[in-house]
Structure 1
Amino acid sequence: MYFIILGVLLILLKLAEFGAVAEWSWWIVLSPFALAVVWWAWADASGYTKRREMDKLEEKKKERRKKNLAALGQEPRKRKI
């Protein structure tokens, strides 16, 4: 996502002819989009995105279990000091 944001920002700077970016080649300005494609290909091939998705689902499951136990009145008791 950061590569896409950087790419859009560089395109806007290039079109507005702002600063040094106005003199850069279009290949340099568009390179963050190529890096984003490489990142997504690696993330999908390595299973990185799937692991993150499964971690989020596991966290939701834990929160749902905690909420259901609290609704049943079986939440863990707090220690008295």
Structure 2
Amino acid sequence: MWLLVVGLAAIALKYFEVGFVAGLDWWIVLLPFPAAALWWAFADWSGYTARRAMERDDARREDRLERQRDALGLSTRRGGSRRKP
């Protein structure tokens, strides 16, 4: 995602001729976009994306279970609730 932001910022700087980016060739300015495509292809191929999604789902499930335990007064944690006020 950050490669897209860098690419969009570089395009804006090149278009408005700001700073050293104004003197760069367009192919250099547009380079973050194929780099982002390569990163996404690698992340999908390596399973990184699926792992991150599973970790996010697991954390969401654990938070939900902990909230339900707290609501029932069955909290297994010492020191009270996990949620921040």
TM-score in terms of structure 1 length: 0.90
Q: Does 1:76 align with 2:76?
A: yes
Q: Helix, strand or coil: the match of 1:75? A: coil
Counterpart of 1:71, as a letter, is A
67-76 vs 29-38, greater mean Cα deviation:
67-76
Counterpart of 1:40, as a letter, is W
Counterpart of 2:25, as a letter, is S
Q: Does 1:60 align with 2:60?
A: yes
Unaligned runs of 5+ in 2: 80-85
- Distance in 2 between the 1:64 and 1:42 partners? 32
Aligned pair count? Answer: 79
CA RMSD, 1 decimal: 1.4
Unaligned runs of 5+ in 1: none
Q: Helix, strand or coil: the match of 1:76? A: coil
- Distance in 2 between the 1:28 and 1:41 partners? 21
- Distance in 2 between the 1:8 and 1:77 partners? 46
Query: After superposition, what is the alpha-carbon deviation per residue over 1:27-69, rounded to whole angstroms, capped at 9, x for unaligned?
Result: 0000000100000000011110110010010001111111111
Q: Does 1:50 align with 2:43?
A: no
Match in the other structure for 2:21:
21
Match in the other structure for 2:38:
38
Larger Cα-atom Rg = 1
Moved over 4 A (4+): none
